[in-house]
Amino acid sequence: MNDTIIQIKKELRANMNGVASESMGRKSEDYRVNFGVEIPRLHNIASEFEASHELAQQLWKESVRECRILATILQPVESFLPEIADIWVDDIRTLELAQIASLNLFSRLPYASDKVFEWIASEREITQQCGYLTLCHLMRQGEMNERSADEFIDQALTAYAGGSMMLQRTLMRAFAIFAENNPAAAKRLPKEFR
């Protein structure tokens, strides 16, 4: 496994974008290393390796932006237990990683529709972001019943009232997706959110 990690890091170094790395490093100190590799290139790198729970877990433990993104791509859904999902969400510090993990992994989990409501009820804003971002993907897939719709409306309106501008932007997107996919239920939203 160490040889695979070394090979991945060589690929990352070979594809490093110094300008992007420096810019990202100035904006955020959430990673020990940031190579500035673009997302499409990371998908190409991931395609060179077989998806593996062990590999994804090792990559996640690295305090490297690109390794964590690769982990979300290479983690098989069937071996990603709810407890591990909670650990990963607790480890997320940036909106970028929340967005990527929600798209690549969290929205594909068989228990995602239960987990999102745990995450949106969190006091930690980035955990809420993971919940709402994942919920956006689930709503697009039509995975919301009436009970879930009611809970979404209650939680999202409360979060919007007390949330940061960053969370409010995510919630506006969630409200738009909700209204598009649930026109009847969306009538219960205040007019400014429809």
Distance CA 78, CA 177 (A): 27
Overall domain count for the chain: 2
Residue with tokens 């879930």: 148
- Spatial contact of 93 and 30, defined as CB atoms under 8 Å apart: yes
- Tell me how far the alpha carbon of residue 185 is from its chain's centroid: 26
Q: What is the pLDDT of residue 26?
A: 47
If asked whether residues 111 and 188 sit together in one domain, one would say: yes
Low-confidence ranges of the chain (pLDDT < 50): 20-21, 25-26
Whole-model pTM: value is: 0.90
If asked whether residues 115 and 191 sit together in one domain, one would say: yes
- Provide the residue range defining the domain that includes 62: 1-79
Distance CA 132, CA 121 (A): 10
Asked if the structure places residue 89 within a domain, the reply is no
DSSP helix/strand/coil, 33: strand
Asked if the structure places residue 87 within a domain, the reply is no
If asked whether residues 110 and 72 sit together in one domain, one would say: no
Q: What is the pLDDT of residue 31?
A: 60
